[in-house]
Amino acid sequence: MPSAFEAARRMIAAMLDGRTSADLDKRSRPDTTTPLKPWIRPSKHLEPTFTAANWKVLLGNSGATEADKAELYDAKAQEQLVGYEHNVENYIGTLRLPVGVIGPLRVNGIFAKGDYYVPLATSEAALVASYGRGARLISSVGGVTTGTLAEAVHRSPGFAFATTTEAGLFVAWVCENFELLKTAAEETTRHGKLVELSPHVEGDHVYLVCSYTTGDAAGQNMVTIATEALCAAILGHSPLKPIYWFVEANFSGDKKASAMSFVGVRGRKVTASVELPGEEIRKQLHTTPQRMEQYWRMSALGGVMSGSIGVQGHYANGLAALYLATGQDAACVAESAVGVTRIETRENDKLFVSVTLPNIIVGTVGGGTNLPTQAAGLNVLGLKGAGNARAFGEVCAAVCLAGELSIIGALCAHEFVNAHKNLARGKA
């Protein structure tokens, strides 16, 4: 590993390339004399006049050209403008990403059962081909077994008190008044249910982890609104008044990998597994069960040594592509792409492979799922609308398993580099 000293020296050399330290000092000072470029006009509602005004600013003050405007704000983007009102502000158009599809991916799950065609939106060559190869292997042996193990979406308001004693008495009051707080939270939503309150005391601070089920929605906004109502009930009824409080105090694991959600759940905890005959591994992945187990053992230790939360190859690749194609919150990949892949050789030339992901944050209603192309992606899956979120979570795990099989197989067969050369950079 390079030393911090050498890294700093290289960076300083790059900073000073053709410049003096006085030049750098001048560049870094606040600039209050140069006129600021025009502001983008904020708009509560999406209207053509606001979008036109924003494009006028961009065309005169950024690197954007009329050709760029035509790409982002084409006829379809203009026609569908109003439909995006609850999904974006300061609208200037839509973004097109290539969408590939893999499948059929056969899933034998508690909630997902059948053959699924899975849309993946990405700009990374080789990704769809790799996940498609894994899906073919899984389906050729009868499919993947999946199960949803737990559900909960969290918010963690924080409260500051005058003393640690007050913090402790506040926790006692919360525990005694769960039903009052549950009622207040659930009055804000038809589908969300407050299932648990978990207090954590740090000195005179209290972190109150509020856990909800959210029906078929991913539920991030749902639990935020419900928790604000819960906090209002606390302020109105608790005899212990906080000095100050926040609706989210960064204990929930929202949009980040955390040890708490890794050992618990955030969203949906899902597992997927398959047992593969050695013959199919040799035929389709060009390697052996023994070599794949050896790779997994070495990579697991590498993950531990690097300090990763969980041990897996590239869940983020498949999840990001699937989330973009189906209207999920792409930022949730930060927490969703955490988990454990396990590979073990079994008797009779078999290989057992499983993935467990404790933080799958997905929905089939609300959020971006109603946008035109994202709704189409969910329809390709056959999982649009109410009653499908748990099945969708299990498909997510199955997709991750397909990706793990393919990338590990490629590494074991020494085909990983050539795959990227051929698909991303032309013929090797």
Which of 151, 329, 335, 404 is catalytic? The answer is 329
HSE, CB side, 13 Å, CA atoms: give it for residue 72.
Answer: 15
Residue 420 annotated among the catalytic residues of the structure: yes
Contact call for residues 67 and 80 (beta carbons, < 8 A): no
Tell me how far apart the alpha carbons of residues 237 and 100 are, in angstroms, rounded to a whole number. 54
Place of tokens 């955390």: 258
Residue 286 annotated among the catalytic residues of the structure: no
Residue 31 annotated among the catalytic residues of the structure: no
Contacts of 395 (CB under 8 A, 6+ apart): 105, 107, 112, 116, 118, 146, 381, 383
Tell me how far apart the alpha carbons of residues 234 and 232 are, in angstroms, rounded to a whole number. 5
Residue among 339, 85, 332, 83 at smallest CA distance from 218: 332
First to last CA, the chain: 30
Tell me how far apart the alpha carbons of residues 10 and 2 are, in angstroms, rounded to a whole number. 11
**72 C-beta neighbours (distance < 10 Å), count:** 17
Contact call for residues 315 and 337 (beta carbons, < 8 A): yes
| Nearest-10 crossing angle of helices 389-412, 289-306 | 100
Task: List phi, psi (to 5°) of 75.
Answer: -60, -40
Number of H helices, E strands in the chain: 17, 11
Which of 71, 124, 275, 415 is catalytic? The answer is 124
**202 C-beta neighbours (distance < 10 Å), count:** 12
Tell me how far apart the alpha carbons of residues 107 and 201 are, in angstroms, rounded to a whole number. 43
Reading the block at residue 236, the tokens are 């109105």
- Structure letter (DSSP) for residue 91: -
Place of tokens 């694991």: 253
Active site residues: 124, 329, 420
